[in-house]
């Protein structure tokens, strides 16, 4: 599994760790029940802080993409959906771009609502 970190990216390093896993699930290179690299090992290989990797893994847990198991580490869930992973990854990229552009969260949400046909917020 390839983890990519770009210091110039608007995404935080932990978001980039999570993005690498989402991308791998979306592409089918990581499958349900597959173990992700140990956080300590991954942090060392990427030259980043262990807690940064753990935050990335926790984001994936919160999304339901991985389970964090004591003694087994991070494991891709059986319900990991490649289509949903692809969409989630794209949403994170768009949010990062909106923030880098200087849009407030409300301005961004207004754009999304318009795109969905719901119109601007009240």
Beta bridge partners of 68: 74
pLDDT of residue 10: 82
Report yes or no: 24 and 60 within 8 Å, Cβ to Cβ: no
pLDDT band at 92 (very low <50, low <70, confident <90, very high): confident
Average pLDDT on 68-74 reads 85
Q: Is the dihedral of CA 2, 77, 10, 109 positive or negative?
A: positive
pLDDT of residue 1: 75
Q: CA–CA separation, 71 vs 65, rounded Å?
A: 18
**Complete DSSP assignment for 15-84:** HHHHHHHHHHHHHTSS-TTPBPPPHHHHHHHHTS-HHHHHHHHHHHHHTTSEEEETTTEEEE-TT--HHH
Percent of the chain with pLDDT over 70: 96
pLDDT of residue 120: 61
Ranges of each domain in the chain: 13-116
pLDDT of residue 121: 57
pLDDT tens digits for range 6-53 = 988 888 999 999 999 999 998 889 989 999 999 999 999 999 999 999
pLDDT of residue 9: 86
pLDDT of residue 119: 60
Options 1.20.1260.10, 3.20.20.120, 3.40.50.150, 1.10.10.10; CATH for 13-116 is: 1.10.10.10
């Amino acid at each position: 599994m390839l983890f990519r970190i770009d210091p110039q990216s608007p995404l935080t390093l932990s978001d980039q760790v999570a993005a690498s896993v989402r991308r791998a699930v979306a592409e089918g290179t990581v499958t349900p029940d597959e173990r992700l690299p140990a956080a300590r090992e991954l942090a060392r290989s990427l030259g980043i802080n262990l807690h940064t990797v753990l935050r990335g893994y926790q984001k994936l847990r919160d999304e339901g993409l991985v389970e964090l198991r004591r003694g087994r580490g991070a494991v891709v869930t059986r319900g990991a959906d490649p289509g949903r992973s692809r969409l989630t990854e794209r949403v994170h990229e768009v949010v990062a771009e909106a923030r880098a552009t200087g849009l407030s969260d409300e301005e961004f949400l207004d754009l999304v609502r318009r795109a969905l046909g719901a119109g601007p917020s009240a």
